[in-house]
Amino acid sequence: MAENPYFDQQRALLINDVAAQSLENVLQNINKLNRSLEGVIAVGNEFSQVEGLWSQFEHVMAHAAPEDPPETKGGAAAAEDQEKTSS
């Protein structure tokens, strides 16, 4: 069988072309992903101040909430106690 240098040449050119297109396509997709991630990070950074405020609020509420004394009762339990003492 005779060698066909033209066929081999064209085959090599096509392989290189496909590889270059695939690499370019991968690069474009990576760039799109990078832009999307930058957008997500930017949105997340916009909420950092709000998160800080809620954290401070939670901290203040956790330390400022007094515990109810055992003798203080509310609602139905207080009404029952009043009925017992008045009877």
CA distances from 75 to 43, 72, 78 (A): 45, 10, 6
- Alpha-carbon gap, residue 67 to 69, rounded angstroms: 6
Within 10 angstroms of residue 85's Cβ, the number of other Cβ atoms is 7
Give the CB-side neighbour count of residue 66, counting CA atoms within 13 A.
4
Instruction: Retrieve residue 87's tokens.
Output: 């009877």
pLDDT digit of tens for each residue in the chain (87 aa)?
557 898 999 999 999 988 888 989 999 999 999 999 999 999 989 999 999 999 999 999 998 866 665 555 555 555 566 666 555
Within 10 angstroms of residue 57's Cβ, the number of other Cβ atoms is 10
